[in-house]
A = this chain, B = another copy of it.
Amino acid sequence: MGSRTHPGRPRKVSVEDTLEGALQLFWERGYEGTSIADLSRALGVSASSLYATFESKDRLYLRCMRHYGETRSEFVQEALAEENGIHALQALLIGAALAYGESGAGCAILAAQPGAAVDTELSEMRRKARERITRRIRRAQREGDVTRDLRASDLSAYVQTVMGGLSGASRDGASAAQLHRVAELANATIESWRA
């Protein structure tokens, strides 16, 4: 299945560009608030082309959310790579405040509403993100950065709760500066988690 003898007509818009454009609409208006006609109009591609490339609206939405995860979560990787565990978590919240403040639409995945079978996969994505934070905290506890008196899963839940709150505040119109100040208040809590 790798012969590739006959090429066919070239696509008007690349898959990458389509995902990026569709993401913007889904991100701002949500899954149910974005119709195929909206996407077709905004992208300059007919509905049938979208269906030929991405099987259904569900699948396209899912691809967009994965695309979001791949292109908008660098700040998570960078923050968790901080040597000191406390600094890592604090950098995570500051990074979230900055990222959500820039976009003005919060986190596409955390802000997604329940809807059909898509929600299962999104919930799984959120669970994995939380798990990544939990593992980083466990490592910090092993390394003596974070106290062992508190459960890593609880601390992780707190961090993701604040991130979700920042996401919501961003969508509600909070300024980047405002989000930053909230993140700093939350970081005072994290400061108290030192071993």
Contacts from A to B (Cβ < 8 Å): 28-30, 32-33, 110, 113-115, 123, 126, 150-151, 154-155, 157-158, 160-169, 171-174, 178, 181-182, 185-186, 188-189, 192
Contact = CB atoms under 8 A, between A and B. Distances in A.
Nearest to A157: B182
A10 B29 CA distance: 41
Given A165-B164, A168-B164, A33 B157 contact: no
Nearest to A107: B168
Q: How many copies altogether? A: 2
Contacts of A161: 162, 165-166, 168-169, 182, 186
A172 B126 contact: yes
A11 B41 CA distance: 45
Contacts of A188: 189, 192
| A151, A154, A160, A189 pick with most chain B CB within 10 angstroms | A189
A191 to B, nearest CB: 9
A140 to B, nearest CB: 16
A189 B174 CA distance: 21
A7 B131 CA distance: 61
Contacts of A150: 185
18 contacts: A30-B114, A33-B113, A33-B114, A110-B168, A113-B113, A123-B172, A126-B172, A154-B178, A154-B182, A155-B185, A158-B182, A158-B185, A162-B162, A162-B165, A164-B169, A165-B165, A168-B168, A188-B192
